[in-house]
Chain A
Amino acid sequence: MPRRGLRGGLLKFIRPDDLEQIRFAVLEVLSEVGILMEYRPALELLADHGAKVDWKTSVVRLPEGLVQRALVTAPSRFTLYGKTPEYDVKVDLDRVYTIGGSCALSVLDLDGQHRLAVRQDLVDLTRLLEEMPHLDIMHQIVVPSDVPELGYELVNFATCYSISKRNYYSQAQSAESVRDQIRMAAVYQGSEEAVRDRPTFSEVVCMVSPCKHEKQNSEVLMESARHGIPLYIEVDSLCGATTPAPIAGTLVEEGATVIAGVVLAQLVNPGTPCIFSIASGILDMANGAYSGAAPETALIHAGTAQVAHRFGLPYQGGTGIDAKLPDAQAGYERALQVLTNILAGTNFVHLSYGMMEQMLLASYEQVVIDEEIMGAAFRIAQGFDVNDYTLSVDMLARVGALGKHFLTQRETRDFYRKDRWQPTITNRDPWDTWQAAGGKDMRQYANERARAILAEEKPWAVDQEQAAEIERLCQEGVRKAQERRQAM
């Protein structure tokens, strides 16, 4: 059985008529302001299809008709394949899933040490994430400091892809890297054709606000689309700095920058799955830092869900939190952020496992705590049913009038198991009981749980022979990337 997420979307901040105005503004920016695209083949393809290119400034303007045609071929539902059918993710505009990651430089390890991440951390954190029930898509949570800068994404691919059965959220520094990744996936899937038919990984391309598509990103986008690899077309705006300070203006900039990428992908290969993605935050005006956990950031992410869906595209939102330790700040930041995103119908809640300190730090303990928060948040989003059975008038007639309780009723026993979320590391005991059990706080419970998970050696998703072949291809790819750099 594939994974079919809960439906979100109850929470809407934008009224329908205001949403139309945002859509018009996005179309106006695309057709009259334009997008700066550095990659010449992208400009040429767009120009061939009616876009107006200023060849001197590399700014491309996209008429509405071109945009609409692309939005027709961009699917609103598709499958992101896992290595086995139970990890297939059925994507549409309503269902909500989660993604791990991404790209922290340091870890807060289980001994409480803050240090640079190494490849072993990527292995351990990926193994830990793989055991989190609410995680749907795997992504590299750290960039190890002990791997080469060129081709690091191939090392991360080889590591995470080999461990995890989930669809892998990858990234690439070049078109060659995309092809190297297809080769690695083919080791598991049997052939490159099988990878193109049912890709077990996707690529993210991160555009630059305001309104800029950098060369490398267009190159990776076009190569991925050519092979039918699903794309997260992402913009990481910094509200008040790289996008306008009003949230509405930020939504417009995001819309224009992302949709331009969608148009390009659809021209290369109509039907390529494109996910409207953001990892935006506000600029903290006191220290100039990115804040992923600010309440305004949550509003940006909830609002963008409506914008993406208005354009008929699945949507990735979510971001890291700002706390440095798994403390009270971390708890409130993550809870508000995740709940807002899930309720808003963010189809992929990203960066929501263990990512702290403006996305620079990954905490083992916070991964486990975030799973707990995710469970509670999804339970709230699930809501409750109102029907003849749940209205319970018959039961009230049977029990209520007699002044009895409901605990011994068959309906109670049958219903609560389906209806109640059971916490795992949340403590609801009274003081004395809690003290008698060691008086531990949540961080200690999380630490024990993480250690227990990591102590248990589970088989990787690929067998040893495949893992060795994937690693060999990875090292070959890294070596070629170095040679290409030297040849430049």
Chain B
Amino acid sequence: MTDSSGEILQSMAQAVIDGEAERVRELARRALEQGIEPMRAINEGLIPGISEVGRRFERKEYFLPELMMAADAMKKGMEVLEAALTAGGGKRESQGTVVLGTVKGDIHDIGKSIVGTLLSAHGFNVIDLGVDVSADRFIENIVNNNADVLGMSALLPTTMPYMKRVVDELVSRGLRQRVKVIVGGAPVTPEYARQIGADAYGDDAISAVHVVQQLLGLAN
């Protein structure tokens, strides 16, 4: 087969748009076989794909399922290309490390998982601690992974105050300056985020990505 590199990259973008994870992975492998630089495959294949998905989502042509499937496909391609980058002695600049979780007492998973998927698709290293996460576990993971951002979620009015407890704990352990804190979840408001001393509030998964980019000075 003699695909020109341009065609492969275009197909890769299209496969991300279509949310075809296996096809993206296969195209990423083929790109490498054809001698395309991994960095170029990311920048000219995966990223134009996910950017187009974002535009379609904003125009309400695409909805959450398409968005999530595209993000998954992007991640699959990324795994292949990043492995090649590392093998070649290079490294893709990570956008930053985000520790994510639903706070203690709260077992609601879905919103936080959507945020995690979209953040990884945008190049962040995401450490998703799951649900019912204690302050100690959050902090242990922030320290061990040298995280840039802590993202906390709560869906219950009764568990929301735990987010403040985590922030207070960060302050008392002298770690508050090391990490940006973003909070979200149905009952959480921007006012509440301010009250408990968080840096930002994410209204939904897409805005959470924008907010994290802004917090880290990556927004363009």
How many B residues face the partner with a CB closer than 8 A?
17
- Bound Cα distance from A285 to B67, whole angstroms: 10
When chains A and B are docked, how far (Å) is the Cα of A105 from the Cα of B189? Answer: 11
Closest-CB distance, A167 to chain B (whole angstroms): 23
Q: Is A79 an interface residue (CB 8 A)?
A: no
Cβ-based interface call for A193 (8 A): no
Given the contacts A290-B186, A358-B186, A283 and B64 also touching, CB distance less than 8 Å? yes
With known contacts A149-B158, A152-B158, A283-B64, A288–B107 Cβ distance under 8 A = no
What 0/1 pattern do residues 62 to 100 of B give for CB contact below 8 A with A? Answer: 011100000000000000000000000000000000000
The interface bits of chain B over 124-162 (1 if a CB of A lies within 8 angstroms of the residue's CB, else 0) are: 000000000000000000000000000000000111010
Residues of A within 8 A of B41 (CB): none
Q: Classify the secondary structure of A's interface with B.
A: loop
Which of chain B's residues have a CB closer than 8 A to the CB of A212? 107
Query: Would B205 and A285 count as touching, CB distance under 8 A?
Result: no
A287 touches B204 (CB 8 A): yes
Are B158 and A288 in contact, with the CB atoms below 8 A? no
Closest chain A CB from B206 CB (angstroms): 9
Q: Chain A residue with minimal CB distance to B132?
A: A214
B109 to chain A: closest CB distance in Å? 8
Please determine whether A143 and B158 come into contact, CB atoms closer than 8 angstroms: yes
Binds B, one of A64-72, A123-131, A235-243, A272-280: A235-243
Does A208 reach chain B (CB closer than 8 Å)? yes
Is B48's CB within 8 Å of the partner chain A? no
Residues of B within 8 A of A214 (CB): 107
Q: How far is the CB of A417 from chain B (nearest CB, A)?
A: 45
Q: Does A286 contact B (CB under 8 A)?
A: yes
B64 touches A285 (CB 8 A): yes
In the complex, A238 Cα to B114 Cα: how many Å? 14
With a cutoff of 8 Å between Cβ atoms, the chain A residues found around residue B204 in the complex are 287-289
List of A residues within 8 angstroms of B108 by Cβ: 208
Chain B residue nearest in CB terms to A290: B186
What is the CB-to-nearest-CB distance from A156 to chain B, in angstroms, rounded to a whole number?
Answer: 11
For residue A30, CB closer than 8 A to chain B, the reply is: no
- The complex places the Cα of A283 from the Cα of B113 at a distance, in Å, of 14
- B110: contacting residue among A103, A238, A286, CB under 8 A: A238
Q: Which of A267-315 contact B (CB under 8 A)?
A: 283, 285-290
Q: Which of B193-220 contact A (CB under 8 A)?
A: 204-205
- B173 CB–A CB distance under 8 Å: no
Q: Are B187 and A288 in contact (CB under 8 A)?
A: no
In the complex the two chains form, what is the Cα distance from A445 to B181 in whole Å?
45
Interface string of A103-129 (1 = CB under 8 A from B): 101000000000000000000000000
**B157:A288 contact, CB within 8 angstroms:** no
The answer to the question of B123 belonging to the interface, with a C-beta cut-off of 8 Å to chain A, is: no
Residue of A nearest to B110 (CB): A241
State the CA gap A208–B105 with chains docked (Å). Answer: 13
Q: List, in ascending order, chain B residues with CB within 8 A of A103's CB.
A: 157
A285 touching B186 in the complex, CB below 8 Å, given contacts A238-B110, A241-B110: no
Partner-B contacts on A (CB < 8 A):
103, 105, 143, 149, 152, 173, 208, 212, 214, 238, 240-242, 283, 285-290, 358, 360
Pairs across A and B, CB under 8 Å, 10 listed: A103-B157, A105-B157, A105-B187, A143-B158, A173-B158, A208-B108, A214-B107, A285-B63, A285-B64, A288-B64
The interface of chain B, by Cβ under 8 A from chain A, is: 60, 63-65, 107-108, 110-111, 114, 157-159, 161, 186-187, 204-205
